[in-house]
Amino acid sequence: MRQDSESVVIYAYLSGFRSTGATFGEGGGVGASLLLAVNLTLGLAVMGILTGVILYDRSLKAASWWLGACLTAVLAGAFMYGLPHVQEVNLLRFVIFTMFAISNTCLAVGLAVRYAGAVSWRPFVAVLLTSMAAFALATEFVADLGLRRAIYQLPFAGIQLVGLIYVVRGMRPQFIDRAVAFVVGLSVAQFPVKSLLAYSYADPSMAPQEMLSSPYMAATLAITAMIWIILTMLLGTRMIIDVLDKMKAKSEIDPLSGLLNRQGFVNLVEHQNVLEQDGDVPSCLIVCDLDHFKQINDVFGHPAGDRVIKSFGEAIQAMANEGDVAARIGGEEFCVLLRHTDIIGAHLFAEALRTVFSTSIVSGFPEDKRLTASFGVTEIERGEVFEKAFSRADSALYDAKNSGRDQVAIRNAEDDEPKTPMPQARSA
């Protein structure tokens, strides 16, 4: 295998935390050596931060992949110190290249996990293995210096490009996500650009030690360091936002039913325009109340009452469609917002939920004990404020309870009297 100066230099600006095995000469060598120390220190610091994030919230899977990216890049950078001091560097070169390739792959997988959730391993494995094979073959068989440098650099661009595709496909229309995509795009572009610059300005006749101590190499390291510092800050900000969003979401979830609590429901309705109608398709509101719930607590105990609430919440979640909003807004009171559903569909939903719940079996209750609920349904008028629609649905709920419970009542905006669009299948 070749032992030319160029194949050593390539490691000084591969990927991850760029490093160099510069001997500590004059001029650029001092700068490159300083950048190596800075990059390794930053890498260790980022590893510490990511470790803390993972210990705080193990569900942030992307952080684990980015920790792996930092670890392999830091190790590869440390191994770079050995290049000028070994006689046979081919194996060490391949190890360092492979570690940088794994580092880039971990970065890209982390991006895919964060922005897409489900990840296909095939493109990452394919690009990683292709990169390793291309490096070995180019070092052995490609004589043209410019072509070798392109082969060395472009696999890393390919690996990060896969991650960039996942970011673009899965990002939200937010500034932080656009910024992440832009900087990852810059990171992808640096590889072919640096390959061209190295081919244009680097002298292949220079010894590895001289190349690594050149001002050009220090400038290359500085550019790469800036890109990765900015990307690290952006990804850190993205993780902080994710943690805060999860904390906010947890504060708006009722732990017993698994539905939104009252505050979460109100926030969703007020700030996310869930009442907006698409065309002529309306939305409907259902207010539900568990019948005789106080008696259930008194007779069977509060743990049994908790199981009833959990069972009712699970029934709502099983029946609700994507886009519907359900919440537990009181002790035994629930609210369901059915989007893109007319009054007929809402009535059918409430009747189905009533039937499912009345036939459900909850542990701790006698087999002949029927659990029932009452429902009030209304259609939300175009442009109507939520409070008015909720008041009308709540009035319908009282109609159902005053009529004997375990039934569905409807109130329309035009007619304040209880009205049902079809006969109800009342349980005995």
Q: What angle do CA 229, 41, 45 make, to 5 degrees?
A: 70
6 assigned to active site: no
Q: Which residue in 6, 210, 332, 351 is the catalytic one?
A: 332
Q: 3-state class of 143 per DSSP?
A: coil
Q: Which tokens hold the place of 190?
A: 């640096």
Listing DSSP states for 237-271 in one string gives HHHHHHHHHHHHHHHTB-TTTSSB-HHHHHHHHHH
Owner of token pair 């930053």: 42
Q: Could you give the dihedral angle defined by the CA atoms of residues 90, 208, 80 and 141, in that order, rounded to the nearest 10 degrees?
A: -30
Q: Which one, of 204, 185, 153, 119, lies nearest residue 13 by Cα?
A: 153
Interatomic CA distance for residues 19 and 34, integer angstroms: 10
Indicate which residues carry an active-site annotation: 332
